[in-house]
Amino acid sequence: MCNKIFNPIDCDIDLISGVSLCEKSGVRYIHLSQNTTLESIKSLLQLLKMNKIPFEIYDKLYYPSTDPGAYLTYSQEKNMSPDCWSMTLGNHGWTGGIFTIDENIIASQLENLLKKGLIQEIRIEKIAFFSHYDFVKSDKNIEMNMRLAKLHNYCLSDSDSAVDQ
């Protein structure tokens, strides 16, 4: 369970329904209650983006060939698209390059993991974003956006920013 902490971002976080800032073992997290809506998740992503706060989640549904699940870190570092986040991922010694992921896909990912009871919080401190990596090639970026969209029940459209990267 998280302990409530005070930080200037608390005031903004507290305005988002179903979301609260907390600390666990000296690390800050954002707790998502079961009644957090997609709209609240989108508001949270906007707030994090505006304040350039990176975050990390464990996506148990992302299943590479070696390990079940992956740690995905989202950041505005190196991001060049207004409706996207830079993302790196890894688990048990393997890592990927830097992907550009559409914000709508991320919102759908968080909502889907929350609905399935696979996520309760997102980490916002002591984040491992592999900024020294190169961006993946366009075809790999499109493939990753499509993979995450399919895993998390998001229907891609022509207006999704990262699909054109």
User: pLDDT tens digits, residue range 145-154?
Assistant: 999 999 998 8
148, 72 Cβ separation under 8 angstroms: no
60-109 pLDDT, tens digit each: 998 766 667 888 999 998 888 889 999 998 886 667 789 999 999 999 99
pTM: 0.86
What is the token pair recorded at 5?
């902490």
109-146: b (≥16 Cβ within 10 Å) or e: bbbbbbeeeebebbbbeebebbeeeeebeeeebbebbb
pLDDT surpassing 70 at residue 42: yes
Region of 77 please: left (phi>0), alpha (psi -120 to 50) or beta: beta
Strand pairing class (121-123; 84-91): unpaired
User: Domain count of the chain?
Assistant: 1
pLDDT surpassing 70 at residue 5: no
Range of the domain at 47: 3-164
